[in-house]
A = this chain, B = another copy of it.
């Protein structure tokens, strides 16, 4: 089984970190194909970055079409997830939806700890749309995404302080790490705090494997019907759908 993991930002080191995390949990027989977007922002912090990361994401999905059995969008904002599902015929999963669905099997109430305040409500809106609004609180720990790469930044300390607030103020029964860049910290934090700590990259790998194993793919009836054939103009002309919807 070939799973395409697309990092929708253009920072290859983050792709590599996510690929390592993905390969650490993949089943035997799974192959992780890691791709980095070749157009868009170096990191995704808020709505503007996110919207401009989508063409790069779709470009990777489109160019490699037929070469993968499922795809993962390696950003916790689930950037471009609905568009990706409309585009391709294989299953596509996001980190946020995979992580909260997974944590839902482990705990009644839990907290997502993300990076910047500007991502907090964005993720809260995702969580509500997925249906988990009544069970999940979202917290921001005031860490710029790229500081997660820098041990001297104090980012880990801020993250741990926020997890402790989640446990003692929210009564959280589990923690979800709300950024793809935190993927390497899950196991250690789980050991420290003694509650499940869910990482989105790992969760997404298992959900993608599950869907492929089960012979299930995105419904093409309704919301995710294939794009209708029509002209696309200018810098987006390469994205014009080649076929009519089914």
Bound CA span A245–B29, Å: 39
Whether B10 and A233, one on each chain, are in contact in the complex, defined by CB atoms closer than 8 angstroms, is yes
- B51 contacts A222, CB within 8 Å? no
Is A203 among interface residues, defined by CB-CB distance under 8 A? Answer: yes
Q: Which residues of B contact A224 (CB under 8 A)?
A: 46-47, 107-108, 118, 173
Given A40-B234, A52-B83, A236-B55: A46 touches B225 (CB 8 Å cut-off)? yes
List, in ascending order, chain B residues with CB within 8 A of A109's CB. 121, 222-223
Residues of chain B contacted by A38 (CB below 8 angstroms): 233-234
A58 to B46 Cα, complex, angstroms: 15
Q: Give the complex CA separation of A48 and B130 in angstroms.
A: 20
A31 at the interface (CB under 8 A from B): no
- Whether A185 is near chain B, meaning CB under 8 Å from some CB there, is no
Q: Given contacts A52-B58, A234-B40, are A223 and B131 in contact (CB under 8 A)?
A: no
Interface flag for A93 (CB, 8 Å): yes
Q: How large is the interface on A (under 10, 10 to 19, 20 to 34, 35 or more residues)?
A: 35 or more
| A162: interface (CB < 8 Å) | no
- Given contacts A132-B131, A196-B216, whether A234 and B117 have CB atoms under 8 Å apart is no
- Contact of B107 with A222 in the complex, beta carbons under 8 Å: yes
Give the Cβ gap from A152 to chain B, nearest Cβ, in Å.
20
Q: Is A187 interfacial (CB-CB < 8 Å)?
A: yes
Q: Is the CB of A104 within 8 A of B97?
A: yes
Chain B residues within 8 Å of A236, by CB: 39-41, 52, 55-56
A131 and B130 within 8 A (CB): yes
Chain A to chain B contacts (Cβ below 8 Å), 19 pairs: A41-B233, A41-B240, A43-B230, A48-B86, A50-B83, A51-B83, A98-B105, A102-B211, A102-B214, A104-B130, A108-B223, A109-B121, A118-B223, A120-B222, A120-B223, A129-B129, A203-B210, A206-B206, A206-B214
Write the residues of chain A forming the contact surface with B, with a CB cutoff of 8 angstroms: 10, 25, 27-29, 37-43, 45-52, 54-56, 58, 80, 82-83, 85-87, 91, 93, 97-98, 101-102, 104-110, 117-118, 120-122, 125, 128-135, 144, 167, 171-174, 187, 190, 194-196, 198, 202-203, 206-207, 209-211, 213-225, 227-228, 230-237, 239-241
